[in-house]
Structure 1
Amino acid sequence: MSSDQDDGDEENDSHDRDGIYRPPKLAPVPYTESSKDKRARRAPIPAALSSLAHLDPSRPFVESTSGLGATPSMQSTRAREIQRMTEFEEENMTRLVLKKKDDKRRRKDEEDIALGGTGGIVGRRRGGGLEDEFSDVLRSVGRTRMGAVGDGYEELRTKGRKQDALSRARTRGRDEVDGPGGDEQRQRKRSRFEKEVRVAKKRMSAKNKK
């Protein structure tokens, strides 16, 4: 203890003599924090702040009815890009010359934004919005009868329609009708197939009797 105190006293005396601060000698420690940890701890930017940055403070706050956030044109980068392109065309009264592929992509993105999506359609994937809520209804438009999954009403019509007379005769029983005297049942009308079967049975019975 005495030797440590002597060393400390000598350092203090040397500091007092020359007036230079000498930090204490410490063992180096490695810095183990990675960049992934920083990104994980970084708090996300609230959607309300990002949307308010593009809104006029004098106007009321716009909220989408789909529950997917604020107005897509205020949050999506692709939607803001299309908005800037539209404003440029309107101000300069000219149409931007785009490639056929880019022009087709722009039309799809504009349709998606009009339905409440965010744009940026890749393949069949939509940008979200109104189509997510009414996807079954929108997907059934334009379907064919022979498709794997057709319209719901068309499927019911197909199931209710039989292919031949035999299947109809097997599934159809006695028809119940309401008569003037109460509930009565009448024999259904025989089909052509049943008539031919009955005639054939009579012929066979007549041959057996002979």
Structure 2
Amino acid sequence: MFDQVLDYLTHLPVYFLTSLGIILVLIIFSVVIGNYVSKLDVRDKPNIIATLVIQFIDFFNNYVKSYIGKHWKFVTPITLTLALYVAVANMSGILALEAPTRYTSITFSLSIISFIVVQATGFISQSWRHLLGLFKPLWPLFPLNLISDVTPILSMALRLFGNIVSGSVILMLVYKLTGWASIIVAPAFHLVFDIGFGLVQTLVLVLLTIVFASIKIDEDDLDFNKN
């Protein structure tokens, strides 16, 4: 059994190793920035990178608050982590790496995490009453409501996978058709497909997660002036 485990670990897919590398880089970056910010005095002026990070996090927090209300502290860290991972994974092709989001095993894992966040938000806000929403407005609609809750796993995973793969295929054709001239032509396509499409798909995944989670929130919890 030990030999089988060792053999499995030594033959991990490249995209999985890339995924682990991205996670490691994000962890190191978060720890470094967090440590730097925690040591700042109120009179200190943060460097430009820390300033941009602080402003982005403040913007993201306020955005999630506007949809989720007082339970934003549960949703924000997970959705922000998803956003960072997906954005970096989508754009990893720029560094000649194999983008993890080109594989359904990764995209389905991300969409399942999104689904868990949505359902957990409902339980946190409404407790067991969250499940009663499956029988509204009429109990015979339960099968349709159940399907509508589960299908986002499939749609988000395939949407992300399809867009990233299509971009990769187009880039591969560009390199094959242009030959040595790809040094001049390819950067523009990388800008569109790796960065442009990558950021758009990140935005779609995160926004859908937040919007679906907001549907599960009790109306009384939408007052984000409450902690």
TM-score (norm. length: structure 2): 0.24
Structure with the larger strand share: 1
TM-score by length of 1: 0.25
